[in-house]
Amino acid sequence: MNLAHPTRKQPDLHGEPLLAIENLHVHYGGIEALKGVSLHVDAGEIVALVGANGAGKSTTLKAIARLVSSSGTLRYAARDLTSLNAEAAALAGISLGPEGRAIFPTLTVRENLELGAYGHRDASAMKETEADVVALFPRLGERMQQSGQTLSGGEQQMLAIGRALMARPSLLLLDEPSLGIAPKLTELIFEAISTIAKSGMTILLVEQNTRVALSASARAYVLRAGENALEGSSEDLAKRDDVRAAYLGG
């Protein structure tokens, strides 16, 4: 599986993390959604962002993907990310599997996947990546000619992740991959995420299900009301009484 080896040259990080955020602020009109969030993700890591609804998790991913304006330091692959728009960020190697999946319902599974490869003109590489996505999610291979709207919620999530992988990113952002999905399919999707991570791809994961998020990641940040609340190894955070009481059901 070649998902972690994009056609673009691998970035030279000069000892920096792949992603480094310091004092990140985002406003929606008069509402301050992020109030100085800081985090970093090293190349090859899977890091989780957890917290209650409204904590700023999805906004953080949108700022990284340059879908919302922000202030503060935001560096990706040893360069200033704030100077890029969303298209340039995607072409630089940042790929987002958005909350709610946001697939194109009237397009086929294959057409949705091909749109994920926007910006890559190498047809053979695109076919190779499509084959890797189908190996990861065999159900998609069985439904290539079906429209996206005919898929189940879990299958649509597979398609959203597969579409993000078609860009052959260096950094994969996943926003609530278990949202609204049956437990059995959630298990399959997180097995796939584990496979992606083991291939060497860097993943920043937002997930409401804190237990699943901490199980899937090496490190985690807890956000509260748009600010950093806690950080540490996922194993250590899962053992903390305050985290267990607030997010793990006691």
pLDDT digits (tens, 9 = 90+) for 97-111: 988 889 999 999 999
pLDDT single digits (tens) 39-52:
999 999 999 999 99
Contacts of 84 (CB under 8 A, 6+ apart): 66, 92
Q: For residue 36, give every residue at least 6 positions away whose Cβ sits within 8 Å of its Cβ, in sequence order, or none.
A: 23, 24, 25, 72, 227, 228
Instruction: Please state, in angstroms and as integers, the Cα–Cα distance from residue 169 to each residue in 44, 52, 70, 235, following that order.
Output: 12, 28, 22, 27
Its CATH class, for the domain covering 19-247, is: alpha beta
**Would you list the domain boundaries of the chain?**
19-247
CA-based radius of gyration for the chain: 17
pLDDT band at 8 (very low <50, low <70, confident <90, very high): very low
pLDDT of residue 11: 61
- pLDDT tier for residue 197 given thresholds of 50, 70 and 90: very high
Q: Is the pLDDT of residue 6 over 60?
A: no
- Average pLDDT value for the chain: 91
Q: How many alpha carbons fall within 13 Å on the CB side of residue 37? A: 33
Confidence at residue 245, expressed as pLDDT on a 0 to 100 scale: 86
Percent of the chain with pLDDT over 90: 74
For residue 196, count CB atoms less than 10 angstroms from its CB and return exposed for 0-12, middle for 13-18, buried for 19 or more: buried
Mind listing the pLDDT tens digit for each residue in 134-177?
999 999 999 999 999 999 999 999 999 999 999 999 999 999 99
pLDDT grade for 7, boundaries at 50, 70 and 90: very low
- What's the pLDDT at 238? 94
Residue 1, pLDDT above cutoff 50: yes
